[in-house]
Amino acid sequence: MNLTNFCFSEILAALAPSQWEHVLQYFVVMIDYGRRGREAIVDPEITRREVISRVMSGEYKNISFIHEIADCAVDDVTAEILAEAALPEIRTTGADLQASRFDHASDLRKHEAV
């Protein structure tokens, strides 16, 4: 088995071909918490339908992106899943813009010469 250019699915197929004949698929949902950081939710057992239902229920908020990993390919399916969940686009509010200006001013103060 050559490990220089390998796919995870190929390794699993070599170990147990009868169990892994179907395409491995999972979703990565990146949640942005602002200053508190980001969280990647990766659950190999979650389906596309479950991701959509969690978006619709509000369990997943402030989504940066949703990637679908199938076999050796990565697809950005953020727009598709948000469209299926029928969530309207939320524009940036005045409070967010003001916070952004404060953050920028703070960054400039940190880097100015003393």
pTM tops 0.75 = no
Tens digit of each residue's pLDDT (9 = 90 or more) over 14-63: 555 455 456 688 999 999 988 899 999 998 889 999 999 999 998 998 99
Residue by residue, what is the 3-state secondary structure of the chain? CCCCCCCHHHHHHHHCCCCCCCCCEEEEEEEECHHHCEEEEEECCCCHHHHHHHHHHCCCCCEEEEEEEECCEEEECHHHHHHHHCCCCCCCCHHHHHHHHHHHHHHHHHHCCC
pLDDT at 64: 93
